[in-house]
Each structure stands twice: as structure tokens, then as C-alpha cells.
């Protein structure tokens, strides 16, 4: 019984590792195909879609990833670039405040802005793949989700922080699993948070006479 359980756990671990390697490969190839600057956004969407397929028990197919990369090329830029730019600006403001180069009073609000934007970026790809919300409302909706699911958002940030620390101590992981593992992890958690939110809204709608 113990041997059977150990083999089952080993098989599961091998499957997860294979998924992470495939998701990493899709993201890396897609990013390079777009020249990095224009490629990372559609590559991120294609990698999240691959993670969703794997979680549903479907095989990860390169043809599907290429199709989604092409179809989401422009939309992904408009979807992901604004929050990334805002995050970089907030992070720079936080660094200046902590370093004493600006008024220290702004450290708290900029720190909160950094956390909220990281959370919003975790929600955006999976949310858009599930619902394809209008681009003008995508960022605001992801921010609201990050705030409404505050415990889950903090969990996401904690996991990303731990993985970043692990990659910093073991840089050899970065080319093979650096992106694949956090993409799989964030998709898994965010998909459950969104499903729970959808179920709650459905129950509330049924309760209205």
C-alpha cells in the first residue's frame, strides 16, 4: 500500500513537472517570437491557456498555443501593459521613498499600490480567458477582485515571493521552471477564486425573488 501510494505521488509529481516545463517552453518561445517587448504579453496568455488545459485534464498542444498567441497578440498588449507600467512606476516610487529620496509618507500608499497591482496582474490573464471582459474595464475589475479576495491575493503574493527567493538562491531553475511554476500556481488558485466568486453571484441571483 505504501509502495503504491509512493508511486502514485511520484507519478503526480512527474506530471506536474512536465506541465511546468511545457508552460515554461510556451512562454519562452512565445516571448522570443515577439521580440521580448511585444512577445511576452501574448506568450503569457498562451501559457495561462496551456495551464488551464492541463488543469482540465486536456493535453497541452503547441498548435493551440500558437493560435492563441496570434489571436491575442494585440489584445494582450492592451490588457497587460498598463498594469505592468503602473506597477513599475509604483515600485520605483516605493524604492525612492524607502531610500529616503522622497517624502517617506508616500511609502505606505505606494507599497499598497504595488501589492494591489501584483494581485491584479495575477487575476488578469485567467479572468480574461474565462470572461473576456471589455479592455476598458479589465484592469479595474481585476483590482476589485484582488481587493475582494484579499486573503487569496496575499496568498498569491506570498507564493510568488517564496518562488522568487528560491530562484534567487537557485538561479539554475530560472530557464526551465522560473515562469512555468508560478504560472501554473497562480492559475490554479485564481481559477478557484473566480469560480467561488461566480458561484456566490449565482446564489445571490437565485435568492432574489
pLDDT of residue 99: 76
Show the low-confidence residues of the chain (pLDDT under 70): 1, 101-104, 201-209
pLDDT of residue 66: 97
Q: Quote the domain boundaries for residue 92.
A: 2-207
What is the Rg, in whole angstroms, of the alpha carbon atoms belonging to the chain?
19
Query: In 3D, which of 10, 20, 16 has the Cα closest to residue 167?
Result: 20
- N residues, the chain: 209
How many distinct structural domains can be found in the chain? 1
pLDDT of residue 205: 57
pLDDT of residue 64: 97
Query: In 3D, which of 69, 179, 52, 189 has the Cα closest to residue 119?
Result: 189
- Is the Cβ–Cβ distance between 195 and 154 less than 8 Å? no
pLDDT of residue 114: 95
pLDDT of residue 207: 63
- Is the Cβ–Cβ distance between 97 and 104 less than 8 Å? yes
Residue 159: how many other CB atoms lie within 10 Å: 16
Measured between alpha carbons, how far is residue 41 from residues 36, 139, 197 in Å?
9, 15, 26
Query: In 3D, which of 169, 185, 180, 181 has the Cα closest to residue 31?
Result: 180
Residue 170, SS3 per DSSP? coil
- Which contiguous run of DSSP H or E holds residue 86? helix 73-98
pLDDT of residue 209: 57
pLDDT of residue 124: 95
Amino acid at each position: 500500500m505504501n509502495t503504491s501510494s509512493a508511486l502514485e505521488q511520484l507519478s503526480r509529481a512527474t506530471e506536474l513537472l512536465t506541465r511546468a516545463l511545457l508552460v515554461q517552453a510556451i512562454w519562452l518561445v512565445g516571448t522570443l517570437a515577439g521580440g521580448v517587448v511585444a512577445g511576452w504579453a501574448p506568450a503569457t496568455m498562451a501559457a495561462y491557456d496551456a495551464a488551464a488545459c492541463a488543469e482540465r485534464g486536456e493535453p497541452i498542444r503547441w498548435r493551440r498555443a500558437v493560435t492563441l498567441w496570434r489571436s491575442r497578440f494585440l489584445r494582450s498588449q492592451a490588457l497587460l501593459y498598463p498594469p505592468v507600467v503602473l506597477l513599475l512606476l509604483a515600485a520605483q516610487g516605493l524604492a525612492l521613498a524607502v531610500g529616503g529620496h522622497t517624502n517617506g509618507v508616500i511609502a505606505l500608499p505606494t507599497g499598497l499600490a504595488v501589492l494591489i497591482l501584483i494581485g491584479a496582474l495575477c487575476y488578469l490573464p485567467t479572468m480574461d480567458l474565462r470572461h473576456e471582459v471589455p479592455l476598458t474595464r479589465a484592469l479595474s475589475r481585476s483590482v476589485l477582485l484582488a481587493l475582494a479576495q484579499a486573503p487569496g491575493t496575499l496568498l498569491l503574493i506570498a507564493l510568488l515571493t517564496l518562488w522568487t527567493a528560491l530562484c534567487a538562491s537557485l538561479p539554475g531553475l530560472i530557464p526551465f521552471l522560473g515562469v512555468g511554476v508560478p504560472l501554473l500556481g497562480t492559475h490554479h488558485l485564481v481559477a478557484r477564486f473566480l469560480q467561488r466568486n461566480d458561484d456566490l453571484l449565482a446564489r445571490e441571483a437565485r435568492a432574489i425573488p
